[in-house]
Amino acid sequence: MFDEGKFVEEAVKKLKEEVKGKAIIAVSGGVDSSVAAKIGSMALGENLVAVYVDTGLMRKNESREVESLFKEMPLKFVKVDAEERFLQALKGVVDPEEKRKIIGELFIKIFEEVAEKEKAEYLIQGTIAPDWIESGGGLRDTIKSHHNVGGLPSILKLKIVEPLRDLYKDEVRKVAKYLRLKVAERQPFPGPGLAIRIIGEVTKERLEIIREACHIVEEEIEKEVAKGMEKPWQYFAVLLPVRSVGVHGDRRAYGYTIVVRSVASIDAMTASFSHLPYHLLERISIRITNEIKGINRIVYDITNKPPATIEWE
Ligand code: XMP
């Protein structure tokens, strides 16, 4: 039986022993990094610098929410605006593994820049068990390189510390609740962000489309949850580079396709697609096609994991 209190106590003790000096932690506002930051601040206090890199690949309003969450914690908070650097690095890139590697490496580079400035020697990461299990190595095949693992360059200037390494998602949530973090029930969001929800090249225009589509999916599903529907584990949109013919008013349209994805899961290792009611799917479809220019077809992903993964890339 997993004991949250005992886990926190031991993790704090271990961090105090392991980290001698200043550490930085990458925070994204997700449950994993928030829990790691909270535990880090309990162990290191002022010696912990929380770095939030605004990659431009974040969800709507995310940066504002992250800022308000970490400004409440007793640690040093640093925000880096790096949208242009990420867009430049991703220019022309379509391969999912290449995207992940580029994003991961740029992340680390930015961390290293901040760490050098802050004179930190350690990097605390919110890596959890499924991240490294699915990133391959040893006996396992590489399913996809989760960015906080696959993106690490082989020669690191920072010493990596991963206090949540042995936990599964449901256990991290329990710890978050125990620590009274507001993010406890927040759905997971992948490290490479919206970049892996755009199939094909990542551009500013496509980012705006997928950001708005993900927001509509979240908003409509959460409205239904407020009325009593069971909350899916994760729900979002994916932009496909596939175009199809449609009609807009009395004109021919040739627009792009959005996939709606919603799944039930416990630990992200397996998942089953949510049986969302048709009226909800219809509302999402109508809103996306009405509110987002250039989209004229919405499809619903009815694949479980396995054989699919939760994200499309
Ligand atoms: P998949 O798509 O592999 O996703 O079934 C399992 C869970 O992990 C999230 N995910 C990531 N999280 N870095 C992360 O921190 C990543 O690179 C990454 N890729 C996927 C995904 O959203 C799902 O919750």
Mutational pocket test of ligand 1: of 145, 311, 313, the residue with most ligand atoms within 8 Å of the beta carbon: 311
Task: Please state, in angstroms and rounded to a whole number, the distance separating the CA atoms of residues 57 and 219.
Answer: 19
Q: Which atom of ligand 1 is nearest to the CA of 234?
A: 24
Please give the pLDDT value at position 148: 58
Residue nearest to atom 18 of ligand 1 (CA): 190
Distances (CA, A) of 291 to 213, 215, 220: 9, 11, 14
Residue that has been written with the tokens 């590489």 in this structure: 142
Which two tokens mark 133? 């299990």
Q: Cβ distance 298 to 284 under 8 Å?
A: yes
Please give the pLDDT value at position 156: 59
Please give the pLDDT value at position 147: 61
Three-state secondary structure string covering 55-112: CCCCCCCHHHHHHHHHHCCCCEEEEEECHHHHHHHHCCCCCHHHHHHHHHHHHHHHHH
**Residue 277: partners with Cβ closer than 8 Å, 6 or more residues away:** 224, 229
Ligand 1 site, residue 310, Cβ cutoff 6 A: yes
Q: Cβ distance 133 to 140 under 8 Å?
A: yes
Q: Which strand (E) or helix (H) includes residue 255?
A: strand 251-265
Counting Cα atoms < 13 Å in the Cβ hemisphere of 3 gives 5
Ligand 1 site, residue 126, Cβ cutoff 6 A: no
Ligand 1 site, residue 29, Cβ cutoff 6 A: no
Task: Please state, in angstroms and rounded to a whole number, the distance separating the CA atoms of residues 129 and 282.
Answer: 36
Distance in Å, CA 301 to ligand 1 centroid = 17
Distance in Å, CA 112 to ligand 1 centroid = 24
Ligand 1 site, residue 190, Cβ cutoff 6 A: yes
Distance in Å, CA 220 to ligand 1 centroid = 22
Q: What is the pLDDT along the chain (313 residues), one digit of tens a residue?
A: 899 999 999 999 999 999 999 999 988 888 889 999 999 999 999 899 999 999 999 999 999 989 988 988 899 999 999 999 999 999 999 999 999 999 988 988 898 888 889 999 998 988 898 877 766 655 557 777 766 543 445 445 788 899 999 999 889 999 999 999 988 766 788 889 999 999 999 999 999 999 999 999 999 999 999 999 999 999 999 999 999 999 988 999 999 999 999 999 988 899 999 999 999 999 999 999 999 999 999 999 999 999 999 999 9
Please give the pLDDT value at position 151: 43
Q: Cβ distance 117 to 154 under 8 Å?
A: no
Ligand 1 site, residue 104, Cβ cutoff 6 A: no
Residue nearest to atom 21 of ligand 1 (CA): 190
Task: Please state, in angstroms and rounded to a whole number, the distance separating the CA atoms of residues 313 and 308.
Answer: 10
* Beta strand pairing call for 23-26 and 122-124: parallel
Alpha helices (H) along 122-178:
129-134, 147-150, 169-178
Please give the pLDDT value at position 137: 57
Ligand 1 site, residue 109, Cβ cutoff 6 A: no
Phi, psi at 298, each rounded to 5°: -125, 130
Ligand 1 site, residue 191, Cβ cutoff 6 A: yes
Q: Which atom of ligand 1 is nearest to the CA of 187?
A: 24
Q: Which atom of ligand 1 is nearest to the CA of 312?
A: 2
Q: Which of 275, 276, 268, 274 is nearest to 310 (CA)?
A: 268
Ligand 1 site, residue 125, Cβ cutoff 6 A: no
Distance of CA 109 to the CA centre of its chain: 19
